[in-house]
Structure 1
């Protein structure tokens, strides 16, 4: 089966009475597991350390051989296939990308297609296509070595490499755990946007329940021995934990976890006044004042935000500056409200700019709007669950301004 753009669509995964018993261990790592994953879904495996979630993931591509049972991808029983050929047909992403350090980005991405005998022009076309898909310019990054890239960029290359041979299934083993929190949010958002375009079946192992509820169409909560305590949508699990184990695993912060069910795309955004580099400042100030705005967002030719100066800063120079503010807080429509709040807090800003999958500006999300929604969701929460957002009482709606302060960290001054 293929998608409308000719790519392979996701395949279902079915595990029947799958067991993994390691030698010299009394209890099996995974005991008699039955599990079915629908084609095109993202399913997150989560649970305490040693519960068998990573073992289960690795049995799907037979990096770990099951002791007994059958594993089906689509209608194929893959438990008796050649394991090397099986792994070439399944994408696999690990922490830090797992890139070959002495190979360039384009050579890393083309690794499996080369093994499969693709010709050079096919590999080059596919490499360019995938680097664009994960948000990296092939002309800028294709010849780089992994050491010359950030952790987040390396992880994007790892995803591109895993998708290179157009596999129906993508396995991800804690892929975002080695990057900083802000980069992690952006990588999560990127994965959601990529999945909209490629429609693969994705299985992701994570130790973070919040990440599981954000990424997973459905979530599997494992206990020791690969026992499935609950398998359902994030909303089902949060609203109706199956038992005491699930309630304890979710923890006392379950109310805050509800924030992962509300996305930025579900919230009304405020419009912003935009300006372009080298535009006459007087024109920009006039336009901003007419819109009753005290600041503007400077965008490039693709409407990607560069800076958000106040109108006083714009008026201080004849033309709009080309300065790029690397601290701009941005979130994607697929970001959760928890993500958005974290980004705002980390940047000490009164809101965040919302950008699409290509980085184009969609609008402005005020912290006050987020807090109003959070308060509605936390009506029955304990005081300590909302204490860290109390500062928002002083929120004044201004970007680049810490509530209660007149300082503007969003200055465009170099």
Structure 2
């Protein structure tokens, strides 16, 4: 069997998010002479991801929390889909907005399914509807409902808990999802996978997502547009990542993004933007001779072994397959796996860490899509580097700036 489910053209998913507009929003704290956020005007389009980034004390988290009124604005108005939500009941408002914090913020003594169904139960959904929604969302965030629904948070990794937190935030199908440093408490490898999962989920659901992060690289990877704030909630620049990196609006922005800005532009290419090749697949218990014949017919020496859900568990070569009459149920602990939304730099990191000449491409639920080769990634990055630095002097200037930044 050969997998050829590479992403193809199709109808764009329906936008289910809502626009957000801040009109002169201000927050003053008692005893402070300067406002935490001063007269902020901001419009976020329905269905887009906007990331807030800036130094500590710039008001990014305060602004996020004013959108669902965890913090009440001192002045100004906030609109969601042209509704003035500063006039609404704050408790009912928060039930209609998804909210994700670091470490998921799960109720520790509740099972996963009970955590996910918390808001729908408050809204009076019946059990069947909650169960159906929970199963759908766990599958969406890449957790097998049969395996994880009954678990307690303590029996899960940090990354798995964060996935449950995202599922819970989406449970009542809110138009807006707010995320406060959502991936800051997990290791770098898990963080990349969670970022990719969020992008895949957004591609399917098209909610409006607002993310606070202290990491500019994360802000440019996730955001359709990036809001860079300075002290007092002052907007230094609000634009696409490419626009910010190519044309910093102020000296503050130029200093904030640093000397590696041009190199960061190379991270915009995604795995889905380059060639994804089909792979030969096999199931546990299949005849090794038959699998070998398929692989040779496809002119490859590598086979991807799938579990019953279509997720890769091993990536043996023909010599390893020939060692037994049937495909063994061996699970490789370190498979190089990336998502279609992964950047090419993420893919290259995976390949180098696993010492493989490529990476398997899977959906957020772990279903196999295909294979992206080391040569494809390296040649694409090399071409982009040549375009960014077309002559020897430009490249020399780049190296010098990078060395200074590293020092």
Q: TM-score, normalised by structure 1?
A: 0.88
Correspondence 1:1-400 to 2 at 5 A? 9-379=16-386, 380=389, 381=395, 382-383=398-399
Could you tell me whether the CA contact under 8 Å between 2:260 and 2:402 is conserved in 1? no
Change in CA separation of 1:85 and 1:240 when aligned onto 2, cut-off 3 Å? same
Secondary structure class of the residue paired with 1:161: helix
Change in CA separation of 1:383 and 1:56 when aligned onto 2, cut-off 3 Å? same
Could you tell me whether the CA contact under 8 Å between 1:8 and 1:167 is conserved in 2? no
The alpha carbon displacement at 1:214 in A equals 1.5
The Cα offsets for residues 116-174 of structure 1, whole Å up to 9 and x where unpaired, read as 22222222222222212212222221111100011111111111111111111110001
Q: Which runs of 5+ in 1 are unaligned?
A: 388-414
Change in CA separation of 1:43 and 1:289 when aligned onto 2, cut-off 3 Å? same
Could you tell me whether the CA contact under 8 Å between 1:109 and 1:160 is conserved in 2? yes
The alpha carbon displacement at 1:386 in A equals 8.9
The alpha carbon displacement at 1:269 in A equals 2.4
The separation in 1 between residues aligned to 2:206 and 2:279, in whole angstroms, is 33
Secondary structure class of the residue paired with 1:316: coil
Secondary structure class of the residue paired with 2:376: helix
Secondary structure class of the residue paired with 1:273: strand
Secondary structure class of the residue paired with 2:326: coil
Could you tell me whether the CA contact under 8 Å between 2:48 and 2:208 is conserved in 1? yes
- 1:395 maps to none
Could you tell me whether the CA contact under 8 Å between 1:18 and 1:70 is conserved in 2? yes
The separation in 1 between residues aligned to 2:270 and 2:125, in whole angstroms, is 40
The Cα offsets for residues 93-118 of structure 1, whole Å up to 9 and x where unpaired, read as 00000001111111111111122222
The alpha carbon displacement at 1:8 in A equals 8.8
The alpha carbon displacement at 1:57 in A equals 0.2
Change in CA separation of 1:335 and 1:44 when aligned onto 2, cut-off 3 Å? same
The separation in 1 between residues aligned to 2:141 and 2:321, in whole angstroms, is 34
Change in CA separation of 1:142 and 1:271 when aligned onto 2, cut-off 3 Å? closer
Secondary structure class of the residue paired with 1:44: strand
Bigger mean CA offset, 317-326 vs 346-355 = 346-355
Count of matched residue positions in the alignment of Structure 1 and Structure 2: 383
- 1:396 maps to none
Higher relative contact order (CA 8 A, sep 6+): 2
Secondary structure class of the residue paired with 1:95: coil
Secondary structure class of the residue paired with 1:123: helix
Change in CA separation of 1:119 and 1:280 when aligned onto 2, cut-off 3 Å? closer
Could you tell me whether the CA contact under 8 Å between 1:41 and 1:200 is conserved in 2? yes
Could you tell me whether the CA contact under 8 Å between 2:15 and 2:47 is conserved in 1? no
RMSD: 2.1
